[in-house]
Amino acid sequence: MIIDLRKFIASERPHWRELESLLDRLSGDSAFKLSLEQLKHFHYLYERTSADLAKITTFASEPETRRYLESLVARAYGEIHETRQKPHRVAPLHWFFNTFPQTFRRHVRAFWLSVAITLVGSVFGAGVIAFDPDAKSVIMPFSHLQGDPRERVAREEKAASDRLSGMKGTFSSYLMTHNTKVSIYTLALGMTWGVGTMLMLFYNGIILGAVAADYLLAGQASFLVGWLLPHGSFEIPAILIAGQAGLVLGGALIGWGSRTSATARLRQISRDLVTLIFGVGIMLVWAGFVEAFLSQYHEPVIPYSAKISFGAVELCLLALFLAKSGSQLTGAELQTRNSNLR
Amino acid sequence: MRQRKTSTLLVQTPEGIVFSLLLAGPVTRFLAWAVDLACVGALASAVGSALALLGLLSPDFARGLAVLAYFVIQIGYGIFLEWFWRGQTIGKRLLRLRVMDAQGLRLQFSQIVMRNLLRFVDMLPAFYLLGGIACLASRRAQRLGDFAANTIVVRNPKIQEPDLDQLLAGKFNSLRDYPHLAARLHQRVSPREASVALQALIRRDELHAQARVELFSEIAAHFRSLVEFPPATTEGITDEQYLRNVLDILFRPQGLERQEILPAEPR
């Protein structure tokens, strides 16, 4: 029971204001760190304001003050009880060369699962085309894939004019946005305990396998590899990584063998998922450029050997990047890792 | 953390202090989304017009850029604004909603990205049907994106200050002659009881005459049971006037001038 409300508010308000200004600084400036003394004082202010809130809650006539104190206590609670590291200042290069490949490697088992599902889909798609060529019209997503590969190759190799002339930019943007959307779906469908992600990967595998089998059976292997490898060396791994992220999400929801709650598991992986999907986005931007500006040109404009070599080099560099980049931890990272392990 | 009812989330701190968060329902959120959709449309058409000028130089480049810009605006609108305004977009600001961490902790950038990317699933098959169902079924009114990102959407309704001078007793309040009883009234009346009486007074004109008399009689009887004032002070005044006098004591203590209103908006 507060005897003199006016006096109470007047004497406590300076502390509330001080806490509020500290909270403003903490949330506004990510580089701002409290010293030990300041931290103790911050905790004191939080406890004092909490006690004030408990006192004023019983007071019928002060709803605004109560709400104000509730909001202060809620904010301070968020600061004091937060154990996750405060995000660093934006460091895109460090993120790209260290955080992204490290995150990929941390969840590499999900990546291999993603590869396996796609491979099973590819074998299925190839089998369908090999044993039931009539199914082509059902499986192939684009009209230009439904004809005879030999005819397409002959037509494109004879083409005198550049059919993409004046629309390469638009085509490239379309590819980037479309593929990124597919990747986001593949990640987001992880919310179906991973089933949706698996279906997406399997479906992608079917199309890939069907197209490959169709061209290989028609004896157009060099056209196929020259056409798909330059952009596919980034596009396909990107979708596989999106699948990896979706499977990690599904795994966190299921939580096999984990004693922590689903909320805690999701909290643990949320930063990793964002890292993976941003990485996928960057890979798809590159793939979009290559697909519009290089992949659609065939012999005699660009020799297949040059396209295949380019694609193979890309694939090697990507594999090297994902396997090795950022594998030497800096001192600060080692410290973080050790503290996480503890 | 405990749950009282679906629209309120109570967070209990280890210090034993409880603060409440009002959860936003699917309808309010859908309205906020509609506002945001209009904003995305307006922004995209503004960018489109600007790029049309660029089209004079290179139509292909401008078209490509427009496709990319629309995609970035569509995905980035929610992410950027929720990060920049700590959990709010234009629609959420208008409807006084805010995204918060479900544990009351600091909202992280990765949480914002996750909840915005998982919109793609929440929107399936159309008009946020899946998200809406998840929101209705969830204890914390979370759509799938909120569940994955561990976020909630809360409401911060604006407390409208009632015009107390119009509502409360005039210059003469017979109950004020008994300061010790007035102090007891302060002690015994809970915020909820005071709010019921205040709401009844604010909405008195919306009631039928008979219902109005009955309602005020019931509320006044309740307040009389809490603190008994001498009969001389309550004789000859209606139940409604009695309640005005009671609230006058509760909401306008003697000698306490109007306090500076503190900002009530949590940030």
Return d(Cα A106, Cα B124) in angstroms, integer. Answer: 31
Q: Which residue in A6, A72, A73 has the most chain B C-beta atoms within 10 A of its own C-beta, making it the best mutation to test that interface? A: A73
- CB-CB contact of A70 with A53 (8 Å): yes
Mean local confidence (pLDDT), B241-256: 75
CB contact under 8 A, B194 and A61: yes
CB contact under 8 A, B110 and A63: no
- Which range (A154-163, B3-12, B193-202) has the least confidence? B3-12
Residues of chain B neighbouring A195 (CB-CB closer than 8 A)? none
Q: Which one-letter DSSP state was computed for residue B20?
A: E
Q: Is the pLDDT of residue A107 over 80?
A: yes
Q: How many A-B residue pairs are in contact by the CB < 8 A criterion?
A: 174
How far away is chain A from the Cα of B223, in angstroms, using its nearest Cα?
14
In a domain, A330, yes or no: no
Residue partners of B31: CB distance under 8 A and separation at least 6: B91, B95
Question: Do both A276 and A139 map to the same domain?
Answer: yes
Torsional sign, CA B166, B170, B174, B179 = positive
> Nearest residue of A to residue B255 by CA position?
A6
Q: Is the pLDDT of residue B263 over 50?
A: no
CB contact under 8 A, B264 and A53: no
Question: Do both A195 and A217 map to the same domain?
Answer: yes
Q: Is the pLDDT of residue B256 over 60?
A: no
Is B234 or A307 the better-scoring residue by pLDDT? A307
Q: Which residue in B262, B265, B267 has the most chain A C-beta atoms within 10 A of its own C-beta, making it the best mutation to test that interface? A: B262
Domain boundary among A81, A112, A141: A81
pTM: 0.79
Mean local confidence (pLDDT), B128-137: 88
Q: Is the pLDDT of residue B262 over 60?
A: no
Question: Do both A140 and A214 map to the same domain?
Answer: yes
pLDDT tens digits for range A192-201: 999 999 999 9
pLDDT tens digits for range B93-122: 999 898 988 888 878 899 999 999 999 899
Q: Who among B71, B102, B104 is closest to A74 (CB)?
A: B104
Residues of chain B neighbouring A59 (CB-CB closer than 8 A)? 186, 191
Q: Is the pLDDT of residue B261 over 50?
A: no
Chain A, 98-157: which have a CB under 8 Å from a chain B CB?
none
- CB-CB contact of A54 with B17 (8 Å): yes
Q: Who among B60, B103, B150 is closest to A169 (CB)?
A: B60
Reported as a pLDDT band with limits 50, 70 and 90, residue B254 is: low
> Nearest residue of A to residue B102 by CA position?
A263
A19-27 contacts at long range (C-beta below 8 A, 24 or more positions apart): A19/A45, A19/A46, A19/A49, A19/A72, A19/A76, A20/A72, A23/A72, A23/A75, A23/A76, A23/A79, A23/B267, A24/B267, A26/A79, A27/A75, A27/A79, A27/B86, A27/B106, A27/B267
The amino acid that residue B74 corresponds to is Q
Give the range with max mean pLDDT: B133-147, B176-190, B241-255: B133-147
Question: Do both A246 and A194 map to the same domain?
Answer: yes
Question: Do both A211 and A187 map to the same domain?
Answer: yes
- Tell me which residue range forms the domain holding A302: 92-324
Is A250 or B60 the better-scoring residue by pLDDT? A250
Is A283 or B196 the better-scoring residue by pLDDT? A283
- Which range (A41-55, A264-278, B174-188) has the least confidence? B174-188
Angle at A182 between CA A266 and CA A310, to 5 degrees: 110
Beta bridge mates, B8? B5, B22
Mean local confidence (pLDDT), A1-18: 78
Domain boundary among A28, A51, A81: A81
Domain boundaries, chain B: 2-155, 164-251
CB contact under 8 A, B149 and A77: no
pLDDT attached to residue B264? 42
pLDDT tens digits for range A177-219: 999 999 999 999 999 999 999 999 999 999 999 999 999 998 8
Residues of chain A neighbouring B108 (CB-CB closer than 8 A)? 84, 87, 270-271
How far away is chain A from the Cα of B27, in angstroms, using its nearest Cα?
23
pLDDT tens digits for range A112-150: 999 999 999 999 999 999 998 888 877 777 776 777 888
Question: Do both A72 and A188 map to the same domain?
Answer: no
Reported as a pLDDT band with limits 50, 70 and 90, residue A2 is: low
Question: Do both A168 and A73 map to the same domain?
Answer: no
The amino acid that residue B198 corresponds to is L
Is B45 or B186 the better-scoring residue by pLDDT? B45
Q: Is the pLDDT of residue A342 over 60?
A: no
Question: Do both A153 and A36 map to the same domain?
Answer: no
Nearest Cα residue to A291 out of A187, A178, A198, A172 = A172
Q: Is the pLDDT of residue A263 over 70?
A: yes
Q: Is the pLDDT of residue A339 over 80?
A: no
pLDDT attached to residue A196? 95
Question: Do both A138 and A217 map to the same domain?
Answer: yes
Question: Do both A271 and A206 map to the same domain?
Answer: yes
Question: Do both A147 and A221 map to the same domain?
Answer: yes
Q: Who among B15, B120, B262 is closest to A64 (CB)?
A: B262
CB contact under 8 A, B114 and A61: no
> Nearest residue of B to residue A7 by CA position?
B256
Chain A, 216-245: which have a CB under 8 Å from a chain B CB?
none
pLDDT tens digits for range A314-332: 999 999 999 998 887 655 5
In a domain, A20, yes or no: yes
In a domain, A335, yes or no: no
In a domain, A341, yes or no: no
Average per-residue pLDDT in chain B?
82
Residue A252 CA: distances (Å) to CA of A190, A260, B43, B45, B105: 9, 10, 37, 40, 21
Residues of chain A neighbouring B14 (CB-CB closer than 8 A)? 81
Quick check: A24 contacting B, CB < 8 Å? yes
Chain A, 262-291: which have a CB under 8 Å from a chain B CB?
263, 266-267, 270-271, 273-274, 277
- E strands, chain A, are none
In a domain, A140, yes or no: yes
Mean local confidence (pLDDT), A160-176: 79
Interface predicted TM-score of the whole assembly (ipTM), two decimals:
0.83
Which residue has tokens 């629609």?
A: B91
pLDDT tens digits for range A36-91: 898 999 999 999 998 888 888 766 666 667 778 888 888 888 888 876 666 656 78
The SS3 assignment for A161 reads: coil
CB contact under 8 A, A274 and B114: yes
Is A167 or A282 the better-scoring residue by pLDDT? A282
pLDDT attached to residue A319? 96
Q: Which helix or strand (DSSP H or E) is residue B84 part of?
A: helix B59-84
Question: Do both A21 and A153 map to the same domain?
Answer: no
